[in-house]
Amino acid sequence: MFNGFGPEVFWWFDGLERDNSREYFTRTRDLYEREVRGQLEDLLMELGGGEVKVFRQHRDLRFSRDKRPYKERTYGVAGGLYVQISARGMYVGTGYYRVESDQLERFRAAVADDETGPVLESALAKAKLDVAGASLKTAPRGYPRDHTRIELLRRKQLIVGKSLAGDGGIARDPALELARRVRKASAPVVAWLDEHVGATTAPTPSRFARGR
């Protein structure tokens, strides 16, 4: 059963940011397994709705100049919902993260269309969630800089979510409330993406938080 993230969880992340070493991780591994990874997994299981996965804490150092061995956040997915814990608190989000060229072409065409584009704008406004994701610095090729939906057209990813500060810990009810709120509020946005963008024909997976 998910019991929440106590203050020791965020102290642990603070310590990891100061001392990202195998020595620190080994010394505090019991706390990590029980209160960080364990509670996150319990939260995701309780949310349900599809495949549940918590990603490994070790970083892939093979092609990185940054040789810190551990990620400074712990995250996982459950039924399309991404949940992350770090020193700053808890973040819950969903959307399209890995977007291939064929998906991006469909996304921009649907955003530019005067029938489908306003539907996405309305869904984002009603969701009242933070919008994130990489964007171009200027208009994509073939689209005018003064297009009424240029901010959306510039996006290469579309992620919506909300954060909760970890000061003093995060109790069970607020954590579940945040996750369920994001899932409900984001549903029309995700439905729009599924209808007008959909899966890629490329061999790599396109969906960020929906387990595909």
The domain spans of the chain are 4-196
Distance CA 205, CA 182 (A): 23
**Residues 61-71 pLDDT 10s:** 888 889 999 99
Q: Can you give the C-alpha Rg of the chain in angstroms?
A: 19
**Residues 79-113 pLDDT 10s:** 999 999 999 999 999 999 989 999 999 999 999 99
Distance CA 209, CA 186 (A): 12
Q: Is 206 a residue whose pLDDT tops 60?
A: no
DSSP string, 138-172: SPPTTS-TT-TTHHHHTBS-EEEEEEEE-TT-EEH
Report pLDDT for 212. 31
**Residues 28-82 pLDDT 10s:** 999 999 999 999 999 999 998 888 999 999 999 888 889 999 999 999 999 999 9
**Which architecture, in CATH terms, is 4-196?**
2-Layer Sandwich (3.30)
Q: What's the whole-model pTM score?
A: 0.91
Q: How far is CA 193 from the centre of its chain?
A: 15
Report pLDDT for 63. 86
Return the residue matching tokens 């649907």.
Answer: 110
Cβ-proximal residues to 101 (8 Å cutoff; 6+ apart), any chain:
202
- Tokens, residue 126: 């009603």
